[in-house]
Amino acid sequence: MSKTIGILTGGGDVPGLNPAMKAAVLNALEAGYKVRGIRRGWQGLLHYDFDEPSTHDYYIRELEYVDVRTIDRTGGTFLHTSRTNPQKVRVKDAPDFLINSKYGKKLDENTIDYTDYVLKVLSELEIDALIAIGGDDTLSFAARLHKEGFPVVGIPKTMDNDVYGTDYCIGFSTAVTRSVNLITDLRTSVGSHERIGIIELFGRNSGETSLITALLAQVDRAVISEVPVDINKLADFLMDDKRRNPSNYSIMTVSEGATYKGGGIIETGEEDAYGHKKLGGIGQMISDDIKKITKTNTMFQQLTYVIRSGPPDSLDRMVGMAFGTTAMNLIKKNDTGKLAALQGGKYTTVPLDIVISGKKHADIASYYDKENYQPKVREFLGHPMFLT
């Protein structure tokens, strides 16, 4: 009797998800497995209603060669995604049919743990093992399923490159490449108007996107999540940079999770299922304050969804394919509870629960001058290709 695997993506979309899924699906089909794609990540399992057949057609997709033949040519995720966290569901977000069911465990008056229901759905769908692709939030629930005894393998993705346990996550290279190209183009306007350009990039806990982009785009300064910034000091630096530039402008990057010295992170809106509010605003704040301090016009640009849109670059295609193949190979060997990873430039695996054991940060000592807010690589020999 052939086995069945499930595959899903959760959290923000990144280029490289589709190549990873294509590699996993083709590998599975070649080995005689059946494959079921789960739409909208963990939501597809939480909202699956045994008494409503339409939910099966909506959330479950049988995958054959023809379904994945061309998906690697595009970005995003063809299975769609969500930020659902089944082990901590707000009452107002729970499916109606589950509110008074026996499967929920109340954590408090406002939240319920529906892990048991997800396990029931996986059993009813006859899924023998699961491949979960996501960041540390999505993978934290995958680790929970592993703890409960369900066979699961994880693949790390995020433009922040901040999944703990791997040097590289799918999506990072494309995000950096797009950011560098857009900043290079933006120099046209910043230079024409002789302004100070402030570019805000992704990065909640890790400043790697800002740091590596700044290094490759050769901007003047980079503010990152790990190092709170002195705004007056930064303003002086940028004015000096502007005066030294024959075109009379300066330009900098900033992580969305960066903070002022003595200040907190800039967040807005309601917390999501993983306890995160929407980040963004530090770039605009820096732009406004720089303008006030220096009496010089600034030009602010927030590069967010545009750098995660479109097809993956060559590196994210390669890593996606490698991670997808690795995940399926682990399942074939019954070696689950693992995360596909890159360490020291080589593909490897690590225990899946490592993703909930810490937070990954940029290597400041090796790659950043925190006194001058600049990327500073003092030595390349012996370091990974992508300096992560």
Q: What is the mean pLDDT of residues 66-79?
A: 97
Q: What is the Cα–Cα distance from 79 to 61, expressed in whole angstroms?
A: 9
Task: State the catalytic residue, choosing from 136, 137, 160, 162.
Answer: 160
Q: What is the mean pLDDT of residues 215-243?
A: 97
Domain extents for the chain? 4-170+312-356, 173-309+363-375
Determine how β-strand 152-156 pairs with β-strand 129-134. Answer: parallel
Count the helices and strands in the chain (H runs, E runs).
12, 18
Please give the mean pLDDT across all residues of the chain.
94
> 4-170+312-356 with 173-309+363-375: one CATH topology?
yes
Residue 289 is a catalytic residue: no
Q: What is the number of other CB atoms lying within 10 angstroms of the CB of residue 126?
A: 12
In percent, the amount of the chain with pLDDT more than 90 equals 86
pTM score of the predicted model: 0.94
pLDDT band with cut points at 50, 70 and 90 for residue 270: low
Between 388 and 213, the more confident residue is: 213
Go through the chain and tell me how many residues it has: 388
**Per-residue pLDDT at 214:** 97
In CATH terms, is domain 4-170+312-356 a member of 3.40.50.450?
yes
Q: What is the Cα–Cα distance from 7 to 159, expressed in whole angstroms?
A: 21
Q: What is the mean pLDDT of residues 42-69?
A: 97
Alpha helices by DSSP H, listed for the chain, are 17-30, 42-46, 53-59, 65-68, 115-124, 136-147, 172-192, 208-217, 231-244, 282-294, 314-332, 364-367
Q: Domain 173-309+363-375: what homologous superfamily? A: Phosphofructokinase domain (3.40.50.460)
- 310-352 pLDDT, tens digit each: 999 999 999 999 999 999 999 999 999 999 999 998 999 999 9
pLDDT band with cut points at 50, 70 and 90 for residue 304: confident
164: left (phi over 0), alpha (psi -120 to 50) or beta: beta
Q: Which residues pair with 221 in a beta bridge?
A: 252
| DSSP-assigned letters across all residues of 247-310 | T--EEEEEETT--BTT----EES---TTS-PEE--HHHHHHHHHHHHH---EEEEE-SGGGG-S
